[in-house]
Chains A and B, each alone.
Chain A
Amino acid sequence: MKFFETLLAIDRRIIFLLVAIAVTLPLFSKAILHIEVSPTVKAVYDAVESLPPGSKVLASFDYDPASAPELQPMALSFFRHCFSKDLKVIIIGLWPQGPVQANIALEDIFRDPEIKAKNLKYGEDYVNLGYMAGNEIVIQSMGSDIHTTFPVDYSGNRTSELPLMKGIKNFDNIDFVYNLSAGYPGTMEWVQFAVDRFHAILGAGNTAVQAPGMYPYVQTGQLVGVLGGMKGGAEYEIIAKRPARAVSYMFSQGVSHAVVVFFVIIGNLAFFATRGKKKESQEVGKK
């Protein structure tokens, strides 16, 4: 009994230390663990895979650096997939930091020899239209006219003068929309405005916290599929046969999950073991 009481009163700094060890030590391991690809991730991959070369893909970066460890690997694998299939990528952001995160991902992906060899040109193969204030109203406005919503790209070039943007008016001219989201505005707003209103085809990558909220949209077909958290990113890398950052982080995430579960079990064992004693002392107190 004394043992469990001591366990319940354990200093939280010891818990912090154990979590730190659980998170950091596996990062030094090169082990690639078994990762099962879920149907929702496969659906997003298949949707991109089925697009013919030259198709126009809109990628909306709706997150900030806080969520980058989960969402940046998804951005990398998505860009790699699009560029290796010669798809044309249009980047926007409903979060101010989104287009910068896209630039960071592009910088990373252009180091890949396979992508570098394609000699991709800004304005022809990809564009970054930048951030636009207005949350979901921006999506609604894009449904009418993308050029009036984004008159210039993120570095001030007129959108109408970019070769890639010629012939694109609204979602009718976009073959696939991919949303990386960490909250509001995000995937829910893209479903409500771009999909329900303008019939866009949408796939998404979400933080693990947000992904469960998207499952109803996947079941109804409003959302092609969803990548949930780092696991979703890792699954995409596995199915694309390019294991990268997310796969390497999965060992760390797995061990940290196991440590939290271990804490929950120990905490409950101690709780039940000391509960009877607490009741007894409460009754004595009442008497």
Chain B
Amino acid sequence: MRREVPLIITGVVGITLIMSFFIPHTPFNRLEMLFTHWYQIVAAFAIVLGILNLLRVNLDKAYKRQKDWFFGLVVVASFLLIVIPGFLFSGGRSFQEPGTPFFQIYFYVYVPLMSTMFALLAFFVASASYRAFRARNKEATMLLLAAFFVMLGRVPIGYYLSSWLPENYQLAAVADWIMDFPQTAGQRAIMIGIALGIVSNSLRVILGLERAYIGGE
């Protein structure tokens, strides 16, 4: 039963949602509404489960003094630092309003930390492009040229470097051409490939042939 029930639920929900796409009338539209609400409830519970798991894993790591246990404590302390002011001292449901303690922590601690982490990318991209972005073969050379034109064509410096050229040959025009044609064609091919893969895999899941998600092979 532990395997059959999830398979039946998946099959019924999957087939109903496909039917409701093509027949958006009663009873399929009502069932679709019901299933989407159930999904939202399950998703909300998944967040709670995620939080509990985060605490369990990190407290366990700290308690057993495993490798990097101190960072586990930092995670738990950070969690409490934002949850306690959010729940208890930020005006209940209005905790996201500007000016509340939750908002202050979010704005003055969380935002700069996240921005800093993301900003580090600029340094690693520069270092990696210096060491690894080489015209070793034909494909790498094409990638390199495309990057060269797009990076310069997408910023004002590209305009100043090439403004003496006819409009269609300026860096911005070349960058636009790369983005509109070769790039879009490549993206479209990837998207079609992914979509076909999703369709076939979804069918396998709905029909019960793919059972990896319930621990099968």
Residues of A that sit less than 8 Å from B by CB: 10, 12, 15-16, 18-20, 23, 33-36, 38, 64-69, 97, 99-100, 103-104, 107, 130, 132-135, 137-138, 140-141, 144-145, 148-149, 152, 154-156, 197, 208, 212-213, 215-216, 219, 229, 231, 250-251, 253-261, 263-264, 266-268, 271-272
Is the beta-carbon distance between B147 and A264 smaller than 8 angstroms? yes
- Residues of chain A within 8 A (CB-CB) of B39 are 134, 137
Q: How many residues of B contact A (CB 8 A)?
A: 60
Which of A133, A253, A268 meets B134, CB within 8 Å? Answer: A268
Residues in B73-124 with C-beta less than 8 Å from chain A: 92-94, 96-98, 103, 106-107, 110-111, 114-115, 117-119, 122-123
Q: Interface centre among A103, A135, A266, by most B CB within 10 Å? A: A103
Residues in B32-83 with C-beta less than 8 Å from chain A: 32-33, 36-37, 39-40, 43-44, 46-47
A257 to chain B, nearest CB (A): 5
Is the beta-carbon distance between A65 and B111 smaller than 8 angstroms? yes
Is the beta-carbon distance between B117 and A66 smaller than 8 angstroms? yes
- Residues of chain A within 8 A (CB-CB) of B156 are 33-35, 250-251, 254
Question: In this assembly, does B201 line the interface, its C-beta being within 8 Å of a C-beta of chain A?
Answer: no
A141 to chain B, nearest CB (A): 4
- Residues of chain B within 8 A (CB-CB) of A251 are 156
Question: In this assembly, does B160 line the interface, its C-beta being within 8 Å of a C-beta of chain A?
Answer: yes
Question: In this assembly, does B165 line the interface, its C-beta being within 8 Å of a C-beta of chain A?
Answer: no
- Residues of chain A within 8 A (CB-CB) of B125 are 260
A246 to chain B, nearest CB (A): 12
- Residues of chain B within 8 A (CB-CB) of A152 are 93
Q: Can you spell out 5 A-B residue pairs with CB atoms less than 8 angstroms apart? A: A36-B172, A208-B154, A213-B187, A260-B151, A272-B135
Distance, CA A155 to CA B103, complexed state (A): 13
Question: In this assembly, does B16 line the interface, its C-beta being within 8 Å of a C-beta of chain A?
Answer: no
**Majority-rule SS of B interface residues:** helix
- Residues of chain B within 8 A (CB-CB) of A145 are 33
B168 to chain A, nearest CB (A): 13
Is the beta-carbon distance between B152 and A261 smaller than 8 angstroms? yes
Known contacts A65-B115, A215-B184; is A100 also within 8 Å of B36 by CB?
no
Is the beta-carbon distance between A133 and B187 smaller than 8 angstroms? no
- Residues of chain B within 8 A (CB-CB) of A19 are 122-123, 126
Distance, CA A230 to CA B24, complexed state (A): 40
- Residues of chain A within 8 A (CB-CB) of B129 are 260, 263-264, 267
B37 to chain A, nearest CB (A): 7
Is the beta-carbon distance between A133 and B135 smaller than 8 angstroms? no
Distance, CA A186 to CA B65, complexed state (A): 40
Which of A38, A132, A135, A208 meets B176, CB within 8 Å? Answer: A38
- Residues of chain B within 8 A (CB-CB) of A16 are 123, 126-127
Question: In this assembly, does B148 line the interface, its C-beta being within 8 Å of a C-beta of chain A?
Answer: yes
- Residues of chain A within 8 A (CB-CB) of B43 are 133-135, 137
Residues in B7-31 with C-beta less than 8 Å from chain A: 21, 29
Is the beta-carbon distance between A264 and B37 smaller than 8 angstroms? no
Question: In this assembly, does B155 line the interface, its C-beta being within 8 Å of a C-beta of chain A?
Answer: yes
Which of A34, A130, A137, A267 meets B36, CB within 8 Å? Answer: A137
Known contacts A137-B36, A255-B157; is A156 also within 8 Å of B127 by CB?
no
Distance, CA A104 to CA B151, complexed state (A): 30
7 smallest CB-CB distances across A and B, nearest first, come from A156-B93, A33-B156, A254-B155, A65-B114, A66-B118, A263-B130, A134-B40
- Residues of chain A within 8 A (CB-CB) of B92 are 156
- Residues of chain B within 8 A (CB-CB) of A138 are 40
- Residues of chain A within 8 A (CB-CB) of B98 are 103-104, 107
Is the beta-carbon distance between A155 and B97 smaller than 8 angstroms? yes
Known contacts A35-B156, A254-B156; is A266 also within 8 Å of B106 by CB?
no
Question: In this assembly, does B180 line the interface, its C-beta being within 8 Å of a C-beta of chain A?
Answer: yes
Is the beta-carbon distance between B32 and A144 smaller than 8 angstroms? yes
What residue of chain A has the Cβ atom nearest to residue B33's Cβ?
Answer: A144
Question: In this assembly, does B144 line the interface, its C-beta being within 8 Å of a C-beta of chain A?
Answer: yes
